[in-house]
Structure 1
């Protein structure tokens, strides 16, 4: 089978590519409908063409379904509940790398708050309802009921540039999933439980958890899936230099 020419291939329907990108969002409710292995493999086949500095290809992917998925969910949810009961236990689960800043400033803090309270408001969770907030946060560790959980690791020896490469790989997965009618939710929430995740998936000591991801068929009737985050207009983040 011949390989299509990258330089001469023409995109006959650019609107479909745009739609796949624009319709991507973080789905937080999925149907129990299974995703065939060949579909997942097809998504990864496309995503592996992501660019990376000097073609290092820093990604390693672990696909969890069935019993392996359920076992991880049970372990991490138990740890999450234990921390809620005794916050001092959180120190036993340090993150390997800082995804978020140590100190929030505007406009990022404002956007974060808008996102959080917009989501909780849609779900009917008021300020101070800690039990409800905990339960909603734990939905992350149930993969939002998606039948497929993905875990992504990277070799600890690699630098920050490889994390940028990784972001492009993750985006390709999410866009390729949309092209197949699927939805995703990338999840940094798993990073705090890497000491549970990494042994469970069989990762070696040289590997660091980058993030997790839920993959499946979005529940279109779930109110939470009607929450869509705003985006800044192009003019607000672009400077044209002539």
Structure 2
């Protein structure tokens, strides 16, 4: 799926920013945007086909239109390929630190103890993925091996590491989430897929020297970017979403 400005009802300004032309094209534009959002998912197996720098730059430029408090734009991105990406992989996998022993000492992504409804959703996600891979609930070594595929960026040709200045506050982290979503949606518009990966965060000590990341920056997450390998069973897995009735209140 490649979404073009001509077909989508968008026009491009002189600076390259897509804009809806008029009320008539809003319907068409909404369909294009909705398709990019709903077709986004975490792909866990990629083809080796390279993504050129021009495409990566275009995706990041569009994503940077994300809103941020007083336009601070708190994101910083390290784009890696080939040898540099492999050095990140080697630094993590050769560290001997298993995922269950990794230290979340910069920030904590998950609660110390899960509770409902989040526990059930988390389990459904894990069991669903392992099921399509044929991994049993007691096959711990196979589970670990699958988790470690994070650190090869699921074989994607492009791996990105995202950081934020530790002196910033929670509002900037909210802004960051919108920026990351923009990247993933912009990638879909170009026929590409992604996988956002918090798994990299506790390995910041291994990643820092490879990318020369300053101490004042916190590693937020990584992200794989590339073309989906549709032959792999893990890419058949689909997550569901809770119905609106469970989480929306129309206040009166």
Instruction: Work out the CA distance in 1 between the residues paired with 2:204 and 2:135.
Output: 28
**In the alignment, is the contact (CA less than 8 A) between 2:20 and 2:29 conserved in 1?**
no
Alignment of 1:1-242 (within 5 A): 2-3=14-15, 9-10=21-22, 11=26, 12-79=28-95, 82-84=96-98, 90=101, 93-242=103-252
- Structure 2 CA distance for partners of 1:232 and 1:121, relative to 1, 3 Å: same
State TM-score, norm by structure 1. 0.92
Instruction: Work out the CA distance in 2 between the residues paired with 1:6 and 1:73.
Output: 36
Q: How many residues align?
A: 236
Instruction: Work out the CA distance in 2 between the residues paired with 1:7 and 1:35.
Output: 26
Q: Which runs of 4+ in 1 moved over 3 A?
A: 1-12
Structure 1, unmatched stretches of 5+, are none
**In the alignment, is the contact (CA less than 8 A) between 1:95 and 1:191 conserved in 2?**
no
- Structure 2 CA distance for partners of 1:104 and 1:7, relative to 1, 3 Å: same
- Structure 2 CA distance for partners of 1:6 and 1:220, relative to 1, 3 Å: closer
More deviation, 20-29/99-108? 99-108
Structure 2, unmatched stretches of 5+, are 1-12
After superposition, the C-alpha distances for 1:141-167 in whole angstroms (9 at most, x for unaligned) are 010000000000000100011111000
Q: CA RMSD in A?
A: 1.9
Determine helix, strand or coil for the equivalent of 1:154: strand
**In the alignment, is the contact (CA less than 8 A) between 2:67 and 2:178 conserved in 1?**
yes
More deviation, 180-189/218-227? 218-227
- Structure 2 CA distance for partners of 1:222 and 1:6, relative to 1, 3 Å: closer
Instruction: Work out the CA distance in 2 between the residues paired with 1:8 and 1:33.
Output: 32
User: How far is 1:235 from its partner?
Assistant: 2.0
**In the alignment, is the contact (CA less than 8 A) between 1:32 and 1:147 conserved in 2?**
yes
Instruction: Work out the CA distance in 2 between the residues paired with 1:122 and 1:63.
Output: 31
